[in-house]
Amino acid sequence: MNKPRKVTIIGAGMGGSLLAIYLARRNFDVEIYELRNNIASLPCLSAKSINQSLSARGIAALKEVQLWDVIKNIASPEHGRVIHEPSGELLYQPYGDTQGYTEWSINRNELNRALQEQFHRYPITIINEEKCVSVDFDTRVIELENQYTKKRTTKKVELVVGADGIHSVVRKSLEKKQVCNTRFEYLDWGYKNIFVPVPHNDTILFRTDAFHLWSKKKAAIFGMSNSGGNFTCTITLPLVGPDSFASIDSTESLLSFFERHFPDLSASVPAIAEDFLSQPATPFASVYADTWYYKDFCVLLGDACHAVTIFYGQGINAAFEDCAVLAQCIDNAYPNMEQAFSSFQTLRKTDTDVLADVCKDRFIELKDKYESPLFLARSYVFMWLERLFPGTFHSLYTLIVHSTLSYSVAVQRNNTGKRIARLCGVDILILVCVLWIMARKTAYRLLEKVNNLKRLYVSGFQKLAKSTLRKY
């Protein structure tokens, strides 16, 4: 068996760049082909480079190659989430102050750039503006297309890693060879990334050390701060129908939509309208590829084999975790690369399938249940339980985002915790909480009615006073 020491990675995104470092540290010669131009020339503050969240899994993978301290310097800590409630109230939920849970908001391009700045320390060569257009598994040749001249060339390679994202050409070549079947699951919602200057509005507390969530039955906005104190927001909406990406097609309809659903952000509409209206909406998709490798020659990684929707902020984290697991599998099986790839798929696929499923469940929670008293009561009660018993009870969110347990163990552990809590009578607590939420809602509505009446009475009285004064 040949001992491969040269690896060709397709895609220098998140997973590809970190894997290059992992493999170079194991004395592999690494070359990467990337279709975009040099990352140093790409802007950080634009809709194309949003902020994303790094959490426990991603951080653990970075620590393993001594990179966390470098990355931490360009990330902003988030200690909790601010929920912009339909009533206009702001609710701050710490992720876990006693446990010190933190997520890190980081600009996507800056993260990618920081990883690539490490390349000079290792035997890593990056070739930009070269798109891989096909892989021939029999001759072990890749075909490349220069993005500038459109000239095509071929190259014989020893071992290829497909880290080329959700629309992976390497995966498509595996499908063509009938090695791999892929299922794409699309949601009927999509997203647009918008750079939102913080509204200069003293009435709103825009904490920059928190994740911001505006959630309505038919719309959600996720806001993440960046080091300059501004926000990049991901606006998620149905693709078609009323109040959808299709129907909001002018500045007027955008403004009316924000005034109705997100009044605290409506002051930002003039600044975001052009960006919003010119950007196409991207549908949310999950990728389930059934085979991730071919013999000892090719393996997929990250979104190329398991893209998930964004609702737990796990895509980069899972791609980084892949790098650590794949490197471990290579350490254990080397020089038997087929064995390494097979172990990698066995260790990861069940977990990433579970992750894709829980992300979809969270999407349903966000869109259908966020205003439901029962759902809110359940999440409040479980949040309290977690605060009261920090070492014992963990919400699914904590287990997915703030732990490094495998995704399937995280789900199992959460189910067990919920069963125990029910046996201890948690349902009664939830019922009390539902009643409290409904009472608050009714009180709020009554208060609004009283305020409206007050306003009517005052303006009627003012009109009467004015007309009486005019008469005399």
Ligand X SMILES: Cc1cc2nc3c(=O)[nH]c(=O)nc-3n(C[C@H](O)[C@H](O)[C@H](O)COP(=O)(O)OP(=O)(O)OC[C@H]3O[C@@H](n4cnc5c(N)ncnc54)[C@H](O)[C@@H]3O)c2cc1C
Enumerate binding residues for ligand X (CB under 6 A). 10-16, 33-36, 50, 52-53, 131-132, 163-165, 169, 191, 193, 234, 302-304, 310, 313-317, 319
> Quick one: 106 or 385, whose CB is closer to ligand X?
106
The closest alpha carbon to 320, from 10, 14, 5, 99, belongs to 14
> Quick one: 10 or 410, whose CB is closer to ligand X?
10
User: 243, 62 in Cβ contact below 8 A?
Assistant: no
Task: Classify burial at 304, counting beta carbons within 10 Å of its beta carbon; exposed 0-12, middle 13-18, buried 19 or more.
Answer: buried
> Quick one: 223 or 373, whose CB is closer to ligand X?
223
Question: For 383-397, b where at least 16 C-beta lie within 10 A, e where not — what string?
Answer: bebbeeeeeebbbbb
What are phi and psi for residue 139, nearest 5 degrees?
Answer: -90, -10
User: 77, 102 in Cβ contact below 8 A?
Assistant: yes
Provide the minimum distance between the beta carbon of 447 and ligand X in the complex, in angstroms, as a whole number. Answer: 37
> Quick one: 81 or 131, whose CB is closer to ligand X?
131
> Quick one: 13 or 238, whose CB is closer to ligand X?
13
Residue with tokens 């290792």: 122
Provide the minimum distance between the beta carbon of 196 and ligand X in the complex, in angstroms, as a whole number. Answer: 14
Provide the minimum distance between the beta carbon of 434 and ligand X in the complex, in angstroms, as a whole number. Answer: 31
For residue 130, the surrounding DSSP H or E stretch is strand 130-136
Sheet strands side by side (includes 103-107): 51-54, 103-107, 76-78
Provide the minimum distance between the beta carbon of 284 and ligand X in the complex, in angstroms, as a whole number. Answer: 8
Distance CA 70, CA 59 (A): 11
Measure the CA angle with vertex 246, ends 245 and 251; round to 5°: 70
Residues contacting residue 275 through CB under 8 Å, at least 6 positions apart: 47, 194, 195
Provide the minimum distance between the beta carbon of 418 and ligand X in the complex, in angstroms, as a whole number. Answer: 25
> Encoding tokens for residue 15?
């997973």
Measure the CA angle with vertex 405, ends 102 and 396; round to 5°: 65
> Quick one: 2 or 278, whose CB is closer to ligand X?
278
> Quick one: 356 or 385, whose CB is closer to ligand X?
356
User: 383, 426 in Cβ contact below 8 A?
Assistant: no
Which DSSP symbol is given to 88?
Answer: S
Provide the minimum distance between the beta carbon of 310 and ligand X in the complex, in angstroms, as a whole number. Answer: 4
Provide the minimum distance between the beta carbon of 319 and ligand X in the complex, in angstroms, as a whole number. Answer: 4
> Quick one: 41 or 468, whose CB is closer to ligand X?
41
> Encoding tokens for residue 9?
């990675």
> Quick one: 238 or 373, whose CB is closer to ligand X?
238
Provide the minimum distance between the beta carbon of 158 and ligand X in the complex, in angstroms, as a whole number. Answer: 18
Which DSSP symbol is given to 199?
Answer: P
Q: Please provide the size of the chain in residues.
A: 472
